Chains A and B, each alone.
Chain A
């Protein structure tokens, strides 16, 4: 088997999911300068809600599997959107003019609250995520790509194109970009700033729900703490690409996925067998530290993030 090609395929798949989550971080940061540390938990809630819907539909109905998956998404997405809206409305909005450490700590607090709520609802054990798709693999050269991977790549790409269209071609998107630049002047144009900020949270949360469903289906498990590491990695991806920058979040996500997969594939050889592939998480943080030290504005960011 061609390890390089195989790890590239795995990395791009993982990277597509990171990119979807990173977009949620970066949209919110771009507009209000807040790192919403609870965003990873929104992904987790998306996975959990999808899990509940899918398992119960699979157990009690004869619906076709793909339809069940779709219903899982159709329920999880609005749930997450509502959650994202609630976070903004109840936790962050009252702190809009507070010193910037305050909302940051609140975000970490929200992340802990959501983890615990999920633990109460879904338990503390790993959950087997129901597999609705019969896995098949296709050959690309000497490597394999599964239909699940193809679906993840296709859906992520479609979603990102849709997001770019929304942000660069619609009135709401123009208002979002204007608000990100100057809230006061956007208000003078008649933009209701609160609505635009809420929209950023809601849209990011919809992407998070999709990411949650994908991660659950890809790794075949879910857990109330799954949002923590995923959130940190997606945040790293956003910083890598230049936080606040949409294209940066996508590029950063893909790049981080690839770095991680290649790292995991070769870490054994690199360390003479001392570290195994389960150390793959260290690469994300190695990347985060390197970027913060040498290029805090990220690959595509122009402004050095004084607010970061």
Chain B
């Protein structure tokens, strides 16, 4: 589904990503963990072509390194950005409609809207509400629901648990798992390594712009280095 080789990203003189390799197979849930400033967000942004990168990015066999970002969503790649990125002055329904912007099949869109509302009933209740007035958790749900509206094959999630109360984090992760169960491939970036590794099959650990470890999720969960650095000690 996704193959990344020797990806570099720099902001002016600041090298944020320094030659990482990363593979996500079809149907897999993979997580990317690492400390603040490790370059996780930058990696996702480079994959979604929001920031320019160098190296090789192959998505479903095509080299997308120079694609404009707006073309990717039509090919089934959706990014739920860090901080959610809901359109706060648009209504919930309008936000969801924006998620389906790349599609023209009215009936399909209506069916997917039903599906999203079924998965996230809170959004249906708030359909007409201005998105900026939703709670943080509701906004995260909206951001995920919006991404689902394009019928993604590959869903990139950037810290969906950020700033949410534990119960809300639980809910968000349940939603992610049910999306994965429908066969959507997922690349999940998280601070909450414990939780991320518990739903992922494999994981990558990033440190100051480089991938320093990659393994099966349960192996990472028991790896002493990972335990010490990201899982709060012993």
Within 8 A of A (CB), among B64-85: 68-71, 73-74, 78-79, 81, 85
B89 at the interface (CB under 8 A from A): yes
A75 at the interface (CB under 8 A from B): no
* Contact (Cβ within 8 A) B101 A175: yes
How many Å lie between the Cα of A193 and that of B146 in the bound state? 19
- Interface bracket on B: 20 to 34
* Contact (Cβ within 8 A) A177 B70: no
* Contact (Cβ within 8 A) B87 A191: no
B88 at the interface (CB under 8 A from A): yes
Stretch of A57-65, A150-158, A182-190 on the interface side: A182-190
Residue of B nearest to A180 (CB): B89
B90 at the interface (CB under 8 A from A): yes
Residues of A within 8 A of B217 (CB): none
A178 at the interface (CB under 8 A from B): yes
* Contact (Cβ within 8 A) A192 B68: yes
* Contact (Cβ within 8 A) B81 A185: yes
Which of A186, A187, A188: most chain B Cβ within 10 A? A188
Residues of A within 8 A of B70 (CB): 187-193
* Contact (Cβ within 8 A) B102 A184: no
CB distance from B95 to the nearest CB of A (A): 8
B3 at the interface (CB under 8 A from A): no
* Contact (Cβ within 8 A) A178 B98: yes
A278 at the interface (CB under 8 A from B): no
B99 at the interface (CB under 8 A from A): yes
Interface residue from B71, B81, B98 paired with A174 (Cβ < 8 Å): B98
How many Å lie between the Cα of A129 and that of B120 in the bound state? 61
A33-46 contact mask (Cβ, 8 Å, vs B): 1 or 0: 00000000000000
A137 at the interface (CB under 8 A from B): no
Show 10 A/B contacts (Cβ-Cβ < 8 Å), sorted by A.
A171-B101, A175-B101, A178-B94, A181-B88, A181-B90, A184-B50, A188-B50, A188-B85, A191-B101, A193-B70
